[in-house]
Structure 1
């Protein structure tokens, strides 16, 4: 198991390097000159232009810039300085990343706690009013863009009812609307997958056997059926993690949250390439970590998958004990 975890962690390195190469290439070959943007028309002189370009290292070849950028990240955690504001990008990321992680984690928790129970109840009460309600609601929220839902939440709960604050950061009340707007689309997908997976499992022979043995219905559903239907659900949750992290860019901007997503959007609008490269790399790293956690959850949920991580010596020892 430890060997598998180490292997997956090592695989994160080439994935992040590949993501960085793609984003770095887009920034490098994109139209526009960041040096001219920083100097402006009034401050431009050939000498000032050449000096600033050399100071930023933009006069070097593409791969020289790319490898220098990687070395600075690995050795000094230095993502460069912002072209627009001049501050260190790494310091700004450290101050903002906690908000984005908090938003993403809470969104995943809400997605799981709402989507899975509704999907299970919908499957156990197939063709009932509850089932139809969950199906229609899932289709509605799955088709709804998260930015539109965020605006509706602000209008209804902040401006009309005045229950919750509209924008900014503060106590827990400021996180309610962003988390709901960021998670409801993924709740719909998880609920639909939970329903489909449970419908396949509850028709199995071992479920009928458990009922015939006199097990309570709650035990049959939540212990036996859900335990065997959880793998497809975990897969969908893992796929939605990227959606949740990507959605933070729009959600943080709408709710004026000083997180990594709004910082990335500011960098994109201002062609601030160090900000763009750093934010995309950090988001890719967190998505890789979340996918690793989902893969480990597979092993804890299914003993057959966990047995594949056992080393050859342990398998032989177990076989000898059994014989």
Structure 2
């Protein structure tokens, strides 16, 4: 397994390098440093002196890839690519492009904990609720409960997240006044601000996940080992949890694991609508300000998190099924 993990980490590093190169090339092909300066200063009719000052403050006055005026290692280290792209691998994110934003690393470190406070409970509740609901549908298959449960899943799939947010805020904040409509407070006071967005985000994904898991369980329940377990006198509950659920863990791990980076990076829509100062709202603010430094950083972090997650998924396969060998 150790050699397999080393190879996967090496492949992941190559993928991360490719994403980093592609992102840098894309951003600086679309906009030159002068264009970025005009966007952030606020207008096209700005003097070249103001543009040069903005570029000098943020290190955009240097060559993109190679400094022809220097020799040796300085030809590469004193470039925009080295300072704004290669430095990401050391988690040195530098300064944001917009005037109102500061050090990106400081902002990410602070906002990360807000996103984690929403991501961890949401991820755990999502797996438990979806798996339990799907198991109940399979246990009562071909009944009215199963029929209306599938109908509910399709309805939940068909409704946009914005609908859940608008109705949830109106009902639970405006009418019932059970939760704040938006905002955030540190410490234990954060619970009252996080309960509603977590509940609505859970509801928005429950239909799709439960329907997927139901299909997996139905496929397992018709296999020979399940009929053998029933023939031995094992109760239906034991069949479902000791056999069906256990043998369906690999696709569940794959599905749940692929969603993990999304919840940890923050839900763009939910954090924005509920005023949570997490990474999701940070990205939305950066896009609205056309702050390419923040967007490049978040693309890098997203790629890093996805690569790490899929390596963890492979390791989790060996825990879920001892027959799986990583080689």
TM-score w.r.t. length of structure 2: 0.85
CA distance 1:207–1:9, change in 2 (3 Å): same
Aligned counterpart, 2:30: 30
CA distance 1:243–1:98, change in 2 (3 Å): closer
Of the structure 1 ranges 61-70 and 206-215, higher mean CA displacement relative to structure 2 is found in 61-70
Of the structure 1 ranges 265-274 and 228-237, higher mean CA displacement relative to structure 2 is found in 228-237
Q: How far did 1:270 drift? A: 0.7
CA distance 1:246–1:89, change in 2 (3 Å): closer
Structure 1 CA distance for aligned equivalents of residues 210 and 91 of structure 2: 44
Within-5 A mapping of 1:156-305: 156-170=171-185, 171=189, 172-241=191-260, 244=263, 248-305=267-324
Aligned counterpart, 2:109: 94
CA deviation map 1:239-266 (0-9, x unaligned): 3335545771111100000001111111
Aligned counterpart, 1:45: 47
Contact 2:131 2:210 survives alignment (8 Å) = yes
Q: Secondary structure at the match of 1:163?
A: coil
Q: How far did 1:40 drift? A: 4.5
CA distance 1:76–1:255, change in 2 (3 Å): closer
Contact 1:79 1:278 survives alignment (8 Å) = no
Contact 1:182 1:244 survives alignment (8 Å) = no
- Of 120, 135, 139, the residue aligned with 1:120 is 135
Of the structure 1 ranges 277-286 and 199-208, higher mean CA displacement relative to structure 2 is found in 277-286
Unaligned runs of at least 5 residues, structure 2: 66-78
CA distance 1:289–1:177, change in 2 (3 Å): farther
Structure 2 CA distance for aligned equivalents of residues 139 and 240 of structure 1: 20
CA distance 1:102–1:12, change in 2 (3 Å): farther
Q: How far did 1:96 drift? A: 0.4
CA distance 1:146–1:19, change in 2 (3 Å): farther
CA deviation map 1:141-184 (0-9, x unaligned): 22222222112111111111111221112331211121123233
CA distance 1:296–1:42, change in 2 (3 Å): closer
Q: Secondary structure at the match of 1:304?
A: coil
TM-score w.r.t. length of structure 1: 0.86
CA distance 1:281–1:75, change in 2 (3 Å): closer
CA distance 1:244–1:146, change in 2 (3 Å): farther
CA distance 1:186–1:226, change in 2 (3 Å): same
Moved over 6 A (4+): none
Contact 1:82 1:274 survives alignment (8 Å) = yes
Structure 2 CA distance for aligned equivalents of residues 73 and 270 of structure 1: 21
Structure 2 CA distance for aligned equivalents of residues 80 and 167 of structure 1: 28
Within-5 A mapping of 1:70-89: 70-75=85-90, 77-89=92-104
Contact 1:83 1:272 survives alignment (8 Å) = yes
CA distance 1:269–1:40, change in 2 (3 Å): closer
CA deviation map 1:68-115 (0-9, x unaligned): 323333446233334232511111111101112232222221210110
- Of 143, 153, 161, the residue aligned with 1:146 is 161
Contact 1:147 1:254 survives alignment (8 Å) = no
Structure 2 CA distance for aligned equivalents of residues 204 and 15 of structure 1: 39
Q: Secondary structure at the match of 2:248?
A: helix
Q: Secondary structure at the match of 1:278?
A: helix
CA deviation map 1:213-256 (0-9, x unaligned): 12222211100111112222222223333554577111110000
- Of 62, 75, 83, the residue aligned with 1:68 is 83
Corresponding residue pairs, total = 308
Unaligned runs of at least 5 residues, structure 1: 311-323
Structure 1 vs Structure 2 CA RMSD: 2.5
